[in-house]
């Protein structure tokens, strides 16, 4: 199986680029942030805060996080219910960043990610895919952009969904998540030593797609 790992900070455009390129290659696109978001939603629904680590660990024992692909689209299931749309709020984003620092949460989600990559050609995006989840991925990309660019992208996405958001709040959230995601003890966001660095600051979507496609195609030639 061919495994492509794309890591990088929030809002760099990983998911839209990866989804598009995976579609062209006929690979499955796996958004691993959605797994953490689903756990975060459960934690919030149960009235817990991310500080209640032991309670969260216990909660995992009675929680089922499922990932399904419907016409190639990833759907997230929480205890049998489809929560794909409800995990996209700013509150769930922050909670996901917080609960993802808990080692038990990361361990709980590891097998699901590895199994998908073992059984399918995948483009998998996240924070630790090239470093921890799929250290043997044939292709690793670290995709980033300036915080302001990333905040603009997130702001436009949330606005398009009809959410009442303010740019400065989105930028502050991005910076907080960058800090949390890069400074946690377990599996922090960092480029794998064998990853290719891709900076999409100022790019149009098509330019970023072309950049990622060329990195993948060059590498596919080498591993053939
Ligand atoms: O990619 P995203 O913004 O949907 O991810 C939500 C949070 O989940 C992010 O702030 C950090 C965490 N996450 C992680 O720790 N490891 C991953 N592989 C993916 C996401």
Query: Tokens standing for 104?
Result: 């038990």
pLDDT band at 72 (very low <50, low <70, confident <90, very high): confident
Instruction: Flag whether pLDDT at 47 surpasses 80.
Output: yes
Instruction: Flag whether pLDDT at 224 surpasses 80.
Output: no
Put simply, whether the predicted model's pTM sits higher than 0.85 gets the answer yes
Backbone angles phi, psi at 5, to 5 degrees: -105, 125
- For ligand 1, pick from 17, 96, 178 the residue to mutate: most ligand atoms within 8 Å of CB: 96
Q: CA-based angle 7:44:59, to the nearest 5?
A: 90
181 lines ligand 1 (CB under 6 A): yes
- For ligand 1, pick from 8, 11, 74, 97 the residue to mutate: most ligand atoms within 8 Å of CB: 97
For the chain, give the mean pLDDT: 96
CB 121, CB 26: distance < 8 Å = yes
Going by C-alpha positions, the residue among 93, 104, 119 that lies closest to residue 15 is: 93
Query: Tokens standing for 44?
Result: 């919030």
Interacting residues of 176 by C-beta distance below 8 A, sequence separation 6+: 94, 97
Cα(224) to centroid of ligand 1, in Å? 31
SS3 state of residue 193: coil
């Amino acid at each position: 199986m061919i495994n492509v790992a794309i890591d990088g900070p929030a809002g760099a455009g990983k998911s839209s680029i990866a989804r598009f390129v995976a579609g062209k290659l006929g690979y499955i696109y796996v958004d691993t942030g959605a797994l953490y978001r689903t756990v975060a939603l459960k934690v919030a629904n149960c009235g817990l805060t991310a500080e209640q680590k032991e309670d969260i660990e216990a909660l995992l024992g009675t929680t089922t996080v499922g990932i399904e692909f419907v016409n190639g689209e990833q759907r997230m299931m929480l205890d049998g219910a489809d929560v794909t749309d409800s995990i996209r709020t700013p509150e769930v984003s922050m909670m996901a960043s917080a609960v993802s620092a808990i080692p038990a949460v990361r361990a709980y989600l590891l097998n699901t990610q590895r199994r998908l990559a073992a059984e399918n050609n995948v483009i998998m995006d996240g924070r630790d895919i090239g470093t921890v989840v799929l250290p043997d991925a044939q292709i690793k990309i670290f995709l980033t952009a300036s915080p302001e660019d990333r905040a603009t992208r997130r702001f436009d996405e949330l606005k398009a969904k009809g959410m009442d958001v303010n740019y400065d709040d989105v930028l502050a959230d991005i910076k907080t998540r960058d800090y949390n995601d890069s400074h946690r003890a377990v599996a922090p966001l960092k480029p794998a030593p064998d990853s290719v660095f891709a900076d999409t600051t100022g790019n149009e979507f098509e330019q970023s797609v072309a950049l990622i496609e060329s990195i993948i195609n060059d590498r596919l030639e080498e591993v053939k």
